A and B are shown apart, each in its own frame.
Chain A
Amino acid sequence: MIEKKAPIGRKVGVRPRAVVVGVVAALGAFVISVFSLGTGDFEIAPADVMTTLFGEGEPAHEFIIGELRLPRLITALLVGAALAAGGAVFQSLVRNPLGSPDMLGVTNGASTAALTVIILGGTSTQLSIAAVAGGLATTVLIQLIAGRALHGFRFILVGIGMAAILTGISGYLLTRGVQMENARALLWLTGSLDGRDWGQAVPMLIVLGVTLPVLLLACGPGLRMLEMGDDSASALGVPVPLLRNGALMSAALLVSFAAAAAGPVNFVALIAPHLAKRLTRAPGPNLVPSIFVGALLLTGADFLAQHLLTDRALPVGVVTGLVGGAYLVWLLTTERRAGRI
């Protein structure tokens, strides 16, 4: 792969293949969005969905799409994008395909804090604040305990340890609640987009709007250089500690907000960057393609979750869990056969 890397020291140019992947994924997400907006108890034809989206639809369609279905869809798109971006940055910083925030306890930190709020009977605003605080605090804690560099087995071991501790605490919290709260807690813990409105979508939009440009401008080329090693990166003028901590916290922020909005949706943060990287065949975090792939994955999974069973809707986390797990097993098998891993 080395010969494919852009020359060191100049800004990384835009790769045609990455652009194609991004555009195709974005188109895919758009097509699924149109179908997703059109299906439900009241069916709307794709053409009508389009005219409604452009503000020229019938009032009834405008109400159903604008008030009921669009907030959920936007939340799904943004959560998918945020999880993928967070996963891509984490995997790049940790330099390990396992190093995604849902494996290293960041998501568990968010969900344990949120679970506490659910068991105490708190409001959904308190839940969101707790989830974000929990995810960020866990990231800081992992970094403090692991010390030294982010890459290497130590950071991963500490992250996995934190994840297991937090899972234990979650198990205890689940036994403390009464039946109704337990159902709510379990639904939240699985990851669901049911009943999401602008209250979830707007904060996601703000946090993505703030962190993504920062990650793209400051970290895009810098992260790729960091993957080559701390020494080479700092020799090339990259402010290593600043870049690393900034990127880590931005990624944790994205993932925590995503967990606050939709619960700890499994696998998107792990899979989307894998998938993007395989498709673009480019080194580095592949931030932009990952974002579109993530949005596509989550909207697709949510569409499936709503329509897989005819009698009731599944939480989206069940679908990402099942599909993601199957994908990863397939990936591991084919990669092994090809001798790449």
Chain B
Amino acid sequence: MQNTPDGRTPLSTYDTPVEQGVRTTVPPRAGRRSSVRLFGLVLAIVALIAVAVLSIGFGARFLSPGEVWAGLWDPDSPYYRIVHEMRLPRTLLGLMVGMALGLAGAIMQALTRNPLADPGLLGINAGASAAVATAAVFFGVGTFFGYVWFALAGAAIVTALVYAVGGGRSATPARLALAGAALNATLLSYVSAVLLSDTQAIDKMKFWTAGSLASADFATVERLLPFFAVGLLTGLLVAGPLNALSLGDDSARALGANPSVIRAAVIVAVTLLCGSATAACGPIVFIGLLIPHMVRPFTGPDLRWLLPYTAILAPVLLLGADVLGRILGSPGELQVGTVTAVLGGPLFLYLVRAAK
């Protein structure tokens, strides 16, 4: 706090001219900006619906939006079975996993105040992967319902560990990223060691290792749903309190929020979202890092805007990448994890360059 020209310490920061300037310019613009943001959110939902229709439409035979519509609702339509048995579950899974990863990335970035925070970079996906590899090789587990508990446990342990080791409240971005990188590399070494002990496991898990939606069916979607729903709800509910926490622990308490409860809620949400998403599709990179970065210029740092935007646009990216992978890789397909990396990577590099 700077002293005023007459040498006394100002009573509040608002005594300084700069702060007064900020205060008079912000309020009149806020109303217009929030209507623009609301409009943007509607556009994002439209984009999500469009991409979902595309995702249902693309496949061995392309279905037009009209045919997709008929296939969805009309049991007599020739496309009813294709849509309901194969393409709808895949699309729903992509939707859920996209939302999960985007939201997890966004709330981790807010909690840790670290722009690099991403479930992949902090080792949380690797924790789930290590647990799933253990389950597959040592316990012979082969189904989603078997994987998910291991994945959740792995994600939970790593989330808590990276947060504790990274320094908890006093975490600096560099230390947190170091902790994440350390855990990530360690866990991936472990996964390699486990997989190397069993060549059949390599083959069994190779698609899962790259991140893919190909194995989606309604049973997986149904089993993912409860974990996903609780994680999503917790993640969205925490938006306001997390905003308060960004001002510091004392300010958050003054605003009636309990910092420890907020941190615990974030860790629970991240664990549920990342653990179940990784169990269903394998590790998918970049969604959690990229979407919040892309959205922030429009929404600003306010999580009450940032999180809904992220939750809607992250599945747009994931489903779009999945459709693209099916087009580019035909007659087979490219795993969505590869596409998000190759597609999201350059976009991420551009964003890094564009930032000053």
Contacts and interface: CB of A to CB of B under 8 A. Distances in A.
Given A160-B121, A318-B193, A171 B185 contact: no
Interface stretch (B199-207, B240-248, B267-275): B199-207
A234 interface: no
Contacts of A324: 182, 185-186
A218 to B, nearest CB: 29
A145 B349 contact: yes
Contacts of A267: 185
Interface string A161-185: 1101101110110110001001100
Given A186-B202, A336-B167, A341-B172, A167 B185 contact: no
Contacts of A315: 192-193, 196
Interface size grouping (class) on chain B: 35 or more
Nearest to B189: A321
Interface string B114-142: 00100011000000000000000000000
A332 B182 contact: yes
A266 interface: yes
Provide the main secondary structure of the chain B interface: helix
B71 to A, nearest CB: 30
Q: Is the interface of A mostly helix, strand, loop or mixed?
A: helix
B166 interface: yes
Contacts of B170: 336
A168 B338 contact: yes
Contacts of A147: 353
Interface in B312-356: 334-335, 337-342, 345-346, 348-349, 352-353, 355
Given A103-B181, A168-B345, A332-B166, A190 B192 contact: yes
B352 A161 contact: yes
A83 interface: no
Nearest to A314: B193
Interface residues on A, range: 35 or more
Interface in B284-321: 285-286
Contacts of B340: 168
Contact of B178 (A98, A174, A175): A98
A171 B209 contact: yes
A104 to B, nearest CB: 11
A186 B34 CA distance: 50
Q: Which of B335, B339, B349, B355 has the most CB of A within 10 A?
A: B349
Interface of A: 96-98, 102-103, 145-147, 154, 157-158, 160-162, 164-165, 167-169, 171-172, 174-175, 179, 182-183, 186-187, 189-190, 266-267, 270, 314-315, 317-318, 320-322, 324-326, 328-329, 332-333, 336, 341
10 contacts: A97-B174, A98-B178, A158-B353, A160-B121, A171-B209, A171-B211, A172-B338, A174-B209, A174-B210, A329-B165
Given A164-B348, A171-B337, 13 more contacts: A98-B178, A157-B116, A157-B348, A171-B341, A172-B338, A266-B189, A270-B181, A315-B192, A315-B196, A318-B192, A320-B189, A321-B185, A332-B166
Interface of B: 116, 120-121, 161, 165-167, 170, 172, 174-175, 177-179, 181-183, 185-190, 192-193, 195-196, 199, 202-203, 206-207, 209-211, 285-286, 334-335, 337-342, 345-346, 348-349, 352-353, 355
